[in-house]
Structure 1
Amino acid sequence: MNTSDAIYDFYKKKNTNIPTHYQWGTGYFDVIKINDLQRREELISSLSFTRKNLYKIKLIKGKCRCHYAAKTIEINQYALMFINPIIPFLLEESNEPIEEFFCLFNEEFFSNYGNIKEYPVFQNTQENIFDLSEIQYLEFENTLIKIQAELSSNYDFKFDAVRNLTYDLIHTIMKMSKVPAKSTVRKDADNRITLLFEELLAMQFPLHSATDYIKFRKPRDFAAQLSISINHLNKAVKRTRNKTSSEIITERILQEAQILLKLTDWSVSEIAYLLGYETPSRFTFTFRKKFGIPPLLYRKYQVR
């Protein structure tokens, strides 16, 4: 399923018209408010497997947990969350439904208007969830209301206004929370190779259906696609990330395995083959070695 079809299905399932400002294949930006459990479940089911292309800036009101592959973050009352589409996560409510007010967009919307994905808030899970006071929450809520109003306006330069308001929101939280600037990346050959390798790896996820599968599974697959030798790839990745290319590939594949076990009813055998394992037993062995429990037991503990 491509991004256009996924977004179309999302609005169709919510019985909501597709925004008139959306242009297929180009920039996409929308603002959505979810304040009841049913609409949240619709959102999860519709967008869980389209996260690859859609960034989100999300205001959360209520108590919940945010599960990443390696850790869980508690949200107590008010929070602002930045979501990178290649970092899988799952929100779990506590006793009462939470309220979410968020914008979602693709990278193309900000093309030639700054490099939004390079901001630290979108780079990792250490600096992307911020606790807010009630006053701070209301201030950010007002910004999202302004963005929503601009999208609905007839102003000729409304998209530039939306971009400015979005960047203003990002700069406000970064200054408020003293988020350190990302260090300047050395533009050498090793770094370029590593970035291309990581981009090629990320492009394979998420898996949209039980008929999908990853194409590049081993370092030699990536080396061939990048037209370099395996040794060249391995040395560049090791010097840049202090990990082998095999380690990075396995970590990302197992991240996806965790998400598929949580969010789908696909069998362990299906997941194993879609993720490129020759046999389900090999997948189970690798998963258990990494996480200490087999896939089925992991699913039993994780599924709500």
Structure 2
Amino acid sequence: MSRFVELKSFYKNVRNPVQEPANNEIGHFNIFRVEDLWLSKHRSVNYNRRDFFKISLVTGQGKIYYADQCIEANGSVLVFTNPMIPYFWETISEEQTGYVCIFTEAFFNRFNSISEYPVFQHPDMAVIPLTTEEAIEYDNLFVKIYAELQSEYVYKYDLLRNLVMEIIHGAQKMQPAHGNKHIGSNASERIAGLFAELLERQFPVEFNNQRIKLNSASAFATQLNIHVNHLNKALKEITGQTTTQLINDRILQEAKILLRSTTWTIAEIAWSLGFEEPNHFSSFFKTRINTTPKNFRLSAND
């Protein structure tokens, strides 16, 4: 199981942060120079998830393990990572330069749904190799962001959003890098591990305005950038169950918890667990444990 990295943990690896803003109504945003991050050379591969988005411009030699791919970087690359997919950056060369920009989804919520952009949705679009000229162009953008964050301009966060969007749109027009499938000890084990991380990342459901985004085999396959048949085969080999069975078992487990521990309506629980209609949820629940959600809640509270 990969480690989950929170913002406060990330800051422990920063020597001289520009600033450490508190999370508030505008979300969280910051930028760092790669030189100011504590990087360990030749660490063993250990995929980690973050609770924030990250855009990195890095010049140096390394390997990027993202989903089930391994991409070798030797020069300058742009890398886009989202909280859903575990990833790891293995540094090889001693010298690593560039910038790392981090932000929460809330920073863009009033303007764009940042997670919907292809560079954050698909691992095969997340790593962009740069020519010398392109590296200079993007370095200038990151320098602007770095300087602007320290300014006293009242509307600087609006400007920062625009600069970040310029990086995103520019990258999406470019050709992404293509890596080799990271087989490791066993390809099916890697896929099963990544699937489990994605599944568990959605739980627990703590608020009735929180909704799981991935609740079907095809949705998980799309997120992992593999064919749904490939995903099913890997999970069947490792767990003995299909993708749909594993998803449904976890949703059922969460449904029982919510029915026992909250006063949410059946409709609110159904919506939070990805069902479009309450009756679909009730049918799903009754088919599996031979009782309705309402009766289950009543018996649990007796």
Taking structure 2 as the reference length, what is the TM-score of the superposition?
0.55
CA pair 93-14 structure 1, distance change in 2 beyond 3 A: closer
8 Å Cα contact 2:54-2:103 kept in structure 1: yes
Residue 29 of structure 2 aligns to which amino acid in structure 1? Answer: F
Equivalent-residue separation in structure 1 for 2:33 and 2:120 (angstroms): 21
Equivalent-residue separation in structure 1 for 2:120 and 2:108 (angstroms): 14
Residue 121 of structure 2 aligns to which amino acid in structure 1? Answer: Q
Please tell me the root mean square deviation across aligned C-alpha atoms, in Å: 4.1
Equivalent-residue separation in structure 2 for 1:95 and 1:41 (angstroms): 11
Equivalent-residue separation in structure 1 for 2:85 and 2:218 (angstroms): 23
Say yes or no: does 1:103 pair with 2:82: no
8 Å Cα contact 2:34-2:58 kept in structure 1: no
Equivalent-residue separation in structure 1 for 2:20 and 2:125 (angstroms): 34
Equivalent-residue separation in structure 1 for 2:120 and 2:246 (angstroms): 22
Equivalent-residue separation in structure 2 for 1:58 and 1:114 (angstroms): 20
Greater strand content: 2
Equivalent-residue separation in structure 2 for 1:14 and 1:178 (angstroms): 28
Deviations 1:251-303 (A, max 9, x none): 9xxxxxxxxxxxxxxxxxxxxxxxxxxxxxxxxxxxxxxxxxxxxxxxxxxxx
SS in 1 for 2:68: coil
CA pair 156-73 structure 1, distance change in 2 beyond 3 A: same
What is aligned with 2:80? 82
8 Å Cα contact 2:40-2:91 kept in structure 1: no
Equivalent-residue separation in structure 2 for 1:144 and 1:7 (angstroms): 20
* Aligned pair partner of 1:150 in 148, 151, 154: 148
Equivalent-residue separation in structure 2 for 1:201 and 1:69 (angstroms): 11
Tell me the CA shift for residue 152 of structure 1: 0.9
8 Å Cα contact 1:58-1:101 kept in structure 2: yes
Q: Percent identity?
A: 28
Question: Which range moves more in the overlay, 7-16 or 117-126?
Answer: 7-16
Count, aligned residues: 201
- Aligned positions of 1:21-32 closer than 5 A: 21-24=21-24, 27-32=27-32
Equivalent-residue separation in structure 1 for 2:9 and 2:110 (angstroms): 29
SS in 2 for 1:142: helix
What is aligned with 1:286? none
CA pair 69-8 structure 1, distance change in 2 beyond 3 A: closer
Equivalent-residue separation in structure 2 for 1:96 and 1:250 (angstroms): 43
* Aligned pair partner of 2:68 in 67, 70, 84: 70
- Aligned positions of 1:165-176 closer than 5 A: 165-176=163-174
Structure with bigger gyration radius? 2
